[in-house]
A = this chain, B = another copy of it.
Amino acid sequence: MEFLDGSWKKEVSSWDALMGEELLNQEAILEGAIHSIRNMGDVAFVIIRKREGLFQTVFVNEEVNFSIHDLKEGMTAKVKGIVNEEERAPHGRELRIREIQVLSAPAEPLPLAIDKWKLNTSLEAKLNYRSLSLRNIQERARFKIQEALTRAFRDYLYENGFTEIHTPKIGARGAEGGANLFKLSYFHKPAVLAQSPQFYKQMMVGVFDRVFETGPVFRAEKHNTKRHLNEYTSLDFEMGYIDSFEEIMAMETGFLQYAMKLLKEDYEKELEILKVELPDASKIPAVRFDVAKELVAKKYNRQIRNPFDLEPEEEALIGQYFKEEYDADFVFVTHYPSKKRPFYAMDDPEDTRFTLSFDLLFHGLEITTGGQRIHDYNALLKKIEDRGMETEGMEQYLDTFKYGMPPHGGLGIGLERLTMQLLGEENVREACLFPRDLNRLEP
């Protein structure tokens, strides 16, 4: 009988070993894809793409018994050779080729010049050839940055006593209501895709006190803008026993600080590739919704058209205002109007036209919506009634409150928007592996 014990012997040198002292001037084996070939005649540079980066290998005609024409870009290979120091190589090291074992060969040459430092092609083409365009070093680096953000979110919340949950994406009704629901037939019953895990995370606050989820949400919005996706990844948390909704903002600030630290420590290479300057999350100003509108109206000579709504241009100007006045990258805008928030939002007892809620703007774009929720059963019923809503299909959500719930609140962060703003991208599709929009359902 054969047994697996978790170990696996590979005759391949790790990236760290290639960079270390032990293999210097020694034989090493390197695995990866042939990213580019620069043929200078008797000598050729064969650049190998690995998950850690590019590694230069050198083909010298008289040192090997095969032709450079046997190699093609897009092949994957196992390369045996001698590790040399070489100042001009990307990491100060190169491999002088002795033997190559080709693992696979492409059927056709690549349609995109992925080996250029900057991939010069349209967003449309990049998305159509997603599995190829991301082989470009800059393009793929974005998604390592995105990984760091998700990872930081989870690790920070674990540290703070949160429990991770997985809630269903198919349900009988949506949490936010409205028209932006994708509908489907679930074994002949009408069903919808989750707009957010809102109801479920609240239900689980009564169980675990603090919960989070990182997962997809679905919005059938007919917007076709640079900042909307119809499916995106939401970083959601919900916490019980809060003294004030500012406690939620403090938790988010802590997460952002943790994320910047993780990026600096573990994702330095990608920050460098993309020339990302990390924003300052050490202290984040908080301003009331109505005050923010006035500040911006005054400074930029702009008329307030609707006192209960924030237009995208106003968001951008609030971002600009706080950058100019306080050198702030982030701004919490608090006390959103009640009529702009869902029924479960807690109204401000001091002025019920507003709520104990907030958005977080990052360089002038909303990346988070959060706030305190109603936890009292009768208050919740009254709000539902006042809005002329039906409780049908919400029985189990409402039961949660009937039998007792702590004061609580939470937020949802759009992962792609956070990534987009961190990278200084113009279009949120640049920060999504496989975006879904009004026109795009593939790849």
- Residues of A at the B interface (CB closer than 8 Å) are 1-8, 10, 12, 31-33, 50-52, 74-76, 103-111, 128-132, 134-135, 140, 143-144, 146-147, 150-151, 154, 158, 161, 163-172, 182-187, 189, 191, 193, 199-200, 203-204, 206-210, 215-216, 218, 220, 222, 230-231, 233, 240-241, 243, 246-247, 249-251, 253-254, 256-257, 281-287, 326, 332, 375-378, 393, 396-397, 399-407, 415, 432-436, 438, 441-443
Q: Please, which residues of chain B bring their CB within 8 A of the CB of A401?
A: 107
Closest to A15 in B: B161
Establish whether residues A433 and B166, one from each chain, have CB atoms under 8 Å apart when the complex forms: yes
Copies in the complex: 2
Inter-subunit contact A433/B200 (CB<8 Å):
yes
- State the CA gap A51–B415 with chains docked (Å): 27
**Chain B nearest CB: distance from A424 CB in Å?**
21
Decide if A4 touches B377 in the complex (CB within 8 Å): no
**Once the chains bind, are A3 and B284 in contact (CB under 8 Å)?**
yes
CA distance A134 to B403 in the complex (A): 13
CB-based contact A144/B163 at 8 Å = yes
- Given the known interface contacts A132-B400, A184-B183, A253-B4, the answer about A377 and B434 at a Cβ–Cβ threshold of 8 Å is no
Q: Are A172 and B441 neighbours in the complex by a CB distance under 8 Å?
A: yes
A12, A215, A282, A326 pick with most chain B CB within 10 angstroms: A215
Flag if A131 contacts B396 (CB, 8 Å): yes
With known contacts A103-B241, A130-B396, A164-B150, A206–B246 Cβ distance under 8 A: no
Contact across chains for B75 and A204 when beta carbons are under 8 A apart: no
Q: Shortest beta-carbon distance, A418 to chain B, in Å?
A: 13
CB distance from A144 to the nearest CB of B (A): 6
CA A222 – CA B188 in complex, angstroms? Answer: 12
- Select from chain B the residue with minimum beta-carbon distance to A76: B406
Q: Select from chain B the residue with minimum beta-carbon distance to A208.
A: B51
